Amino acid sequence: MITFEKVNKKFGEISALDEISFVIDKGEFVFLTGPSGAGKTTIIKLLLGEYLPTSGEIIVDSEKIHKISGRKLYLWRRKIGVVFQDYKLFEDRTIWENVSLPLEFQGISFPEIKQKVEGVLEIVGLKERADLFPAQLAGGELQRVSLARAIVIQPDILLADEPTGNLDPATTKEMFNLLKEINEKGTTILAATHNKDLVDCFKARVIELKNGKLIRDEKEGKYYVKNS
């Protein structure tokens, strides 16, 4: 489903990614790990089309993402849900309104929006807080709002960029239990994190980066290791 083929990304003289290659199958749950500056966020932004690779190819469902532009890129992004570390919620909108925004952009009818929003708020345990504003919620609740907004469009792929960086250990585990439930329903998930304890708690494939290089790819119990 997702293929990185010898992808390089440079910012001036700085090499953010160096010859990165991996394949993620449909329905997989994959941790993208490594310390800050390893290249995790760069991979997320390449998948969203926010960055273009310096060289190499990025293919998703037979589509070369780095060659999509204009309106087609906008339509492509509708297939992807994104959960950010800093939530990216609108403070002047209620929780219900924040979650409904992606559906409004797609021109979906209000009755369908209502059904979908209430459904995902039920999944993340926030149905009773739908009329509150972000400032009235705790950090863990805000992250669940961000997750609800990401999955309300029923994306093929869910990208999570350090989604638990601001959360306590118990809330972090709760958040990833929700991600696993979503994955079990068929959504492909790529979750970037530097939290080793979290990765060790969940049985999932691990792709590890260091200084922009792929140093480990664990798949089906097998390890592929490069010298860093």
In tens digits, what is the pLDDT along the chain, a chain of 228 residues?
A: 899 999 999 999 999 999 999 999 999 999 999 998 999 999 999 999 999 999 999 999 888 988 888 778 888 888 899 998 788 899 999 999 999 999 998 889 999 999 999 999 999 999 999 999 999 999 889 989 999 999 999 999 999 988 877 778 888 888 888 899 999 999 999 999 988 888 888 889 999 999 999 999 987 444 444 544
Residue 43 is predicted with a pLDDT of: 97
Identify whether the C-beta of residue 207 lies closer than 8 Å to the C-beta of residue 30.
Answer: yes
* Structure token digits, residue 82: 């994104």
Q: How far apart are CA 10 and CA 61, in angstroms?
A: 25
Task: Report CA-CA distances (Å) from 2 to 57, 60, 65, 161.
Answer: 11, 5, 10, 17
Whole-model pTM above 0.85?
yes
Residue 3 is predicted with a pLDDT of: 96
* Structure token digits, residue 90: 């609108």
Question: Cα torsion at 56, 51, 167, 174 (round to 10°)?
Answer: -60
Q: What is the 8-class DSSP label of residue 129?
A: G
Residue 228 is predicted with a pLDDT of: 42
Residue 69 is predicted with a pLDDT of: 80
